[in-house]
Amino acid sequence: MDLESRSYEAVMDRRSDILRRSTGIDYEAYRQGRFAFDYEAMMAGAGYSIERARQVQAGANVGNTPLLELRNLTRLARSVSPAGRGARIFVKDEAANPSGSFKARRAALSVREAFEKGYPGVIAATSGNYGAAVASQAAASNLPCIVVQEVFDSRGVGQPEILEKTRACEAYGAEVVQLTVGPELFYVQLLLLEETGFFNASLYTPFSVAGIETLGYEVAEDCRKATGKDPDVVVITHAGGGNVTGTARGLAKAGCRGATVVGASVDLHGLHMASDRDFNRKSFTTGHTGFGVPFAVWPDRADVVYSAARPLRYLDRYYTVTQGEVFYMTEALAQLEGLERGPAGNTSLAVAFSLAGELPDDAVLVVQETEYTGAGKHPTAQLTFARENGVTVRRGDPADDRPGEVIVIPERPEQVRAREVSLEDLRRSYLRHAWQVGGADIGVVDKDFFTAELRLDRERVDSILRDLASAGGGT
């Protein structure tokens, strides 16, 4: 391949063809309008019912993780709540999966697809637990694996949490391609997919999201066994949207339609995820608003044509917590429950602990994941790294937390206070993106798609689009 055909522009021009060949999905078959596509048909086309997905995962030693009641944290929540308040807190211990996170579920189906369709290997572009999950599953299937990661800033300094995940990927035998922060990640992934003919084990394919449906299904089953009823609230760490989407779909398939689905992210407002300066001034590499908000308001920014992760279809409420609050709950989980787990699941735990005090004491609140921890994920490593990058770390009121400048760790449990994000604002932002891209080309079929995508009636969609048109798309 000559240099011209390897240029950024040339590779992006071939994007659709590369993605079609590397996933086996003809996305054009689902297109209905400028934005609209048949989402349910695309999900069904993956061919994974709950029964089949569970069968594949069981064969890969994935799933059927324990649901643990956090009795000591529940008591703590009740001690700082009004009388009669303080829901029972449970956690689905996904760290029990082979690679130590719920992402083993999505990796199991992606690797099975690659194996059954005869791909010579798998590629995943991720700096998170998913890379380790794909590497783990590929090793068990004797398939070569390449993981592409954003690791370093321009000084060559890498975050300890990402370096820990690099170590895990390499431990499973994967080749890790490490990049500096910037726009190169997707370009390098596309180039590698084209040159190797490997399968694109994307986080955002129907296979990946179908793998998480089993988690929601198990949450419903396990909760019924443990408490005799469905969960009242399920809190889900929200980044790219697949976790929310898959878990909510699984709950619904289990007949659990009354649970409130809550998204949880670390508040990193003001930090830009592609900024060289900001890259190492955050302590969390996933489950934060730098992914949670952009992927909610424009899901198809992913490494597929149509993302199967559509969080605004499923979120009932969305909350953020500060970095300091997550560090506090990480320590609380370890010291009160004897469970040392990583930061992603503890983001949901921090939100759950805050919400528990608003619910009656007979309510059931489930945190739907934990993740493994390691040297690079531990609060000590992350806070030391933050200080080295000029971030002040102190105790106090987390309301004083300023991402990239100050991390404030609570002094008392009642200071863990989740802050609600307006879903109405996110829905409006979604439509603003659509208007800026499509303008007058937004047709009837697109508007009907938006009603399902955003859980708005048609009159409300039309009203927001009229407002955007009159304001030139800028409101």
Give residue-wise pLDDT tens across range 94-144. Answer: 999 999 999 999 999 999 999 999 999 999 998 889 999 999 999 999 999
Q: Is residue 286 left, alpha or beta, with left meaning phi > 0 and alpha meaning psi from -120 to 50?
A: beta
Q: Give the whole-angstrom CA distance, residue 403 versus residue 391.
A: 9
Do 454 and 329 sit in the same domain of this protein?
Answer: no
Spatial CA neighbour of 95 closest among 336, 345, 262, 349: 345
Do 282 and 263 sit in the same domain of this protein?
Answer: yes
Do 413 and 276 sit in the same domain of this protein?
Answer: yes
* Region of poorest pLDDT, from 2-11, 192-201, 206-215: 2-11
**Range 81-84, long-range pairs (CB < 8 A, 24+ positions):** 81/356, 81/357, 82/357, 84/360, 84/361
Do 414 and 445 sit in the same domain of this protein?
Answer: no
pLDDT tens-digit series, residues 256-267: 999 999 999 999
Task: Tell whether 17 is covered by a domain.
Answer: no
pLDDT tens-digit series, residues 46-96: 999 999 999 999 999 999 999 999 999 999 999 999 999 999 999 999 999
pLDDT tens-digit series, residues 287-344: 999 999 999 999 998 889 999 999 999 999 999 999 999 999 999 999 999 999 999 9
Do 319 and 440 sit in the same domain of this protein?
Answer: no
pLDDT tens-digit series, residues 428-457: 999 999 999 988 789 999 999 999 999 999
Task: Tell whether 465 is covered by a domain.
Answer: yes
Task: Tell whether 152 is covered by a domain.
Answer: no
Per-residue confidence at 472, pLDDT binned at 50, 70, 90? confident
For residue 180, count CB atoms less than 10 angstroms from its CB and return exposed for 0-12, middle for 13-18, buried for 19 or more: middle
Name the H helices within 46-171. 50-59, 71-79, 103-116, 129-140, 160-171
Give how many domains the chain has, as a whole number.
2
Backbone φ and ψ of 119, nearest 5°: -70, 145
Q: What is the CATH number of the domain that holds 214?
A: 3.40.50.1100
- Contact (Cβ atoms closer than 8 angstroms) between residue 434 and residue 446: yes
Per-residue confidence at 475, pLDDT binned at 50, 70, 90? low
Do 417 and 438 sit in the same domain of this protein?
Answer: no
- Domain span at residue 447 reads 432-470
Task: Tell whether 3 is covered by a domain.
Answer: no
- Contact (Cβ atoms closer than 8 angstroms) between residue 205 and residue 25: yes
